[in-house]
Amino acid sequence: MVRSVDVHKRFGRLEVLRGVSMEVARGEVVVIIGASGSGKTTFLRCINHLERVDAGRIYVDGELVGYREKNGRLVEDREREVARKRAAIGMVFQRFNLFPHLTALGNVIEAPIRVKKVPRKEAEETGRERLAKVGLADKLSAYPAQLSGGQQQRVAIARALAMEPKLMLFDEPTSALDPELVGEVLDVMKSLAREGMTMIVVSHEMGFAREVADRIVFMDEGVILEEGPPEELFLRPSQPRTQAFLSKIL
C-alpha cells in the first residue's frame, strides 16, 4: 500500500529525513516510534504531500504521491491531482482541527460533500454511520466546544473515515488528551486495525503498539534505525540507540 524510496527532506540547513525507505503492506499496522525531532511526523506528512520531499519517491497504492514523471524526472503534480490522491489518505493529527462552527455531523460530512461531491442526504447517512462507529451516535448535533478532547478526536477519526480512505495516518493522536481520555481513542484505532485498515501510526503509546502493531519502526535522526515485530523489537532490540530509547519509556 505504501512504498517510500530514499526520501529526503530539509528545512533550511536541517536535514530532517535522510534517506527513508519503507514498505507497508495492505492491511498492515505499522507504529513508528522515536524521540522528538527524529523525523516521524515529517515522514507522515510527506506521505500525503503535506510536506514536499526534496529527494526520493513515495507511492501509495502504486501511484506516486505529489509528483508525476516527465522525461525521466519528477515534476510536481497539479493541485487537483494531488487533492485526488490525498482524498484517499485519511490523516488524524495531534490537534483535532475541527471546524468550531459546525456540529459533529457537520464536520464529518463537509469533505465528502465539497471534495467528493456526495449528495448531502447520502453524506449525512454515511456521517451518522461513521460517528456511530466511533461511539458518538448521541453527539451528532454537538459542537466541538461541547465535546471532551477524546470525543473531538473521535469526531476527527470519523471525519477521516467518511472519505473512505485506503490508508489511515495517525500523528500522535492521543498526545493532546488527558490520560483518562486516551483509552477511548485507542479503542477506536484498535477496532480499525481488526477490520483490516492499513495504518501508519506515530505514537508514544507503547501498550497500544505492542498489542496492535504488526511492525514497529524506530526512527532516529531522520533514518530508520531498526524495525521488526513488537515482541522482537521491544524485547531484543539490536541497536544501542534503540535500547537506550526503550529503557527510558518501557
| SS3 label, residue 85 | helix
73-81 average pLDDT score: 88
At residue 34, what is the residue type? G
In the numeric block, the cell 456540529 is attached to 103
Burial (Cβ within 10 Å: 0-12, 13-18, ≥19) of residue 232: middle
pLDDT at 145: 97
**What is the distance between the alpha carbons of residues 121 and 113, in angstroms, rounded to a whole number?**
10
Identify the sign of the CA torsion 32, 34, 36, 37: negative
pLDDT at 110: 96
Q: Which residues pair with 17 in a beta bridge?
A: 9
Angle at 26 between CA 5 and CA 245, to 5 degrees: 60
pLDDT in tens, 7-41: 999 999 999 999 999 999 999 999 999 999 999 99
pLDDT in tens, 169-224: 999 999 989 999 999 999 999 999 999 999 999 999 999 999 999 999 999 999 99
Say which residues have a Cβ less than 8 Å from residue 74's Cβ, sequence separation at least 6. 57, 64, 67, 68
**How confident is the prediction for the chain on average, in pLDDT?**
95
Q: Which of 89-98, 136-145, 218-227 has the lowest mean pLDDT?
A: 89-98
pLDDT at 48: 93
Give which of 148, 48, 137 is closest to 92, Cα–Cα: 48
For residue 71, is pLDDT > 90?
Answer: no
**What is the distance between the alpha carbons of residues 61 and 101, in angstroms, rounded to a whole number?**
35
**What is the distance between the alpha carbons of residues 161 and 159, in angstroms, rounded to a whole number?**
5
Angle at 139 between CA 159 and CA 185, to 5 degrees: 55
In the numeric block, the cell 507504529 is attached to 31
At residue 63, what is the residue type? E
